[in-house]
Structure 1
Amino acid sequence: MKGVVIAMVVLAIIQLMVEPGWAISCGQVDGYLAPCLPHLIGGSGIPAPTCCDGVKNIKGMASTTTDKRTASNYVKQAANRYSNLKDDAAQSLDAKCGVQMDIPVSRTTNCDM
């Protein structure tokens, strides 16, 4: 079973390398932000390393203006799913992860950059 999981991860990585123009999906953004939920809801402390890795991945995927708009809309949708999301924790997430994002994590993000 462990070998199957490793093989699937390797295939996914290869597919990303082969298709660099691949569009950003809502599922990808959700997956990258999922480890951030404890921090975004609790609002204190330092985000988990897996959360910061996700933030960095989102930044890396959103290189063009179109990608940034798309990612921004998905981040906004993700933020709006959680009524108990702490806005101050969300807005400081990139800084706490040491990443300068053009895509703020917020329910009120203006996605028309």
Structure 2
Amino acid sequence: MAVDSKVRVMIAAVVLLAMVAAAPGASAAVTCGQVGSAIAPCISYVTGRGAITQACCNGVKGLNNAASTTADRQTACRCLKSLAGSIKSLNLGTVAGVPGKCGVNVGFPISLSTDCNKVS
């Protein structure tokens, strides 16, 4: 019974965090959770531990399609920059090339120096 209670509390906390994280960017439909989920299959490739996969490309394509407004693209940009800082052994050159390898034009350079406020 105690395990069920802990699981429920954890689920409630995750939902609450997702709601709080989405609130400041209320005009954007894309969330950092979606960005993280979309690019998760790419992590082994951008850290040099594997090849680019169809799952990675599907995630990149799905994220690109979901980010249909300026607010969405700016949110995705900020999320990508934030996530990049948390991934050890990240090869930024490899990261920048992922959209092209997947046949996707994201409309802005994938770089830590990108000014997300200028993404349109």
Whether TM exceeds 0.5 here: the answer is yes
Other-structure match for 1:25: 31
The Cα of 1:80 is off from its aligned counterpart by 1.2
Q: Percent identity among equivalent residues? A: 35
Other-structure match for 2:96: 91
| Aligned residues of 1:40 and 1:89 also touching (Cα < 8 A) | yes
Other-structure match for 1:36: 42
Give the Cα separation in 2 of the matches to 1:105 and 1:44: 20
Q: Which runs of 5 or more residues in structure 2 are unaligned? A: 1-26
**Structure 1 runs of 4+ off > 4 angstroms?**
none
C-alpha distance 105-43 of structure 1, shift in aligned 2 (>3 A): farther
TM-score, length-normalised on structure 2?
Answer: 0.69
Of 61, 64, 74, 2:66 maps to 61
TM-score, length-normalised on structure 1?
Answer: 0.72
Give the Cα separation in 1 of the matches to 2:108 and 2:63: 9
Q: Which runs of 5 or more residues in structure 1 are unaligned? A: 1-20
How many pairs align?
92
Larger radius of gyration: 2
